[in-house]
Structure formats: structure tokens, C-alpha cells
Amino acid sequence: MGSESRVRLLVSGRVQGVGFRYAAREAASECGAAGWVRNLPDGTVEIVAQGSAAAIACLRTWAEKGPRHGRVERVSEEPLPPSPLTGFEIRR
């Protein structure tokens, strides 16, 4: 795990009801990141992702654009301590 990073991304804008979580799961798979995504009650989407610096950068770049029907206004990033994660799931 040594070179892996873990981050929490909070994505705001028109990001709920537009397929964001499903598109994030696909993007994470393509980027090589593990973790999860969920909608938060305040209308934002939370992504916790872990992987190489390149995988995290790839997912962050995707999150800044989001899915076709969404409109991302802001992405904030918070580093987290790495812990064992496999796969990428949608949480409710």
C-alpha cells in the first residue's frame, strides 16, 4: 500500500439526480481508484477514494467535470489516512 493516497472529495453543484454516483463508480474503475461514493443530505456528493497519486488525480479531474447532465460548481479535497479498500461501491 506504501505509495497509495486516500482522499475525501466533496462535490457541489447540480450533482444529485443526474447519475453522478454511477458515473463516479465507472470513472473510479477506469482511473484505478478504490473507495465509495454517496449523496449527502445537503445536496453534495461525497467521494472517498484511494489509489496511486495518478489514480486520485484522474478521479479528481473527472469529478471536476462530472457526468453529462450534471453541473459541478466546486470540488474540495481533504487528505485521509490510507486504510484497506478494494473495489468501488455506491453507498446510500
Domain extent at residue 41: 5-84
pLDDT score recorded for residue 41 = 98
- Distance in angstroms (rounded) separating the CA atoms of residues 21 and 62: 12
> pLDDT by residue for the chain (92 residues), tens digit each?
458 899 999 999 999 999 999 999 999 999 999 999 999 999 999 999 999 999 999 999 999 999 999 999 999 999 999 888 889 999 98
pLDDT score recorded for residue 2 = 54
Residue 9, domain CATH: 3.30.70.100
Grid cell, residue 49, equals: 477514494
Residues 6+ apart with CB under 8 A from 41: none
- For residue 89, tell me if it sits in a domain: no
Q: What is the number of domains present in the chain? A: 1
| Catalytic (active-site) positions | 21, 39
- For residue 91, tell me if it sits in a domain: no
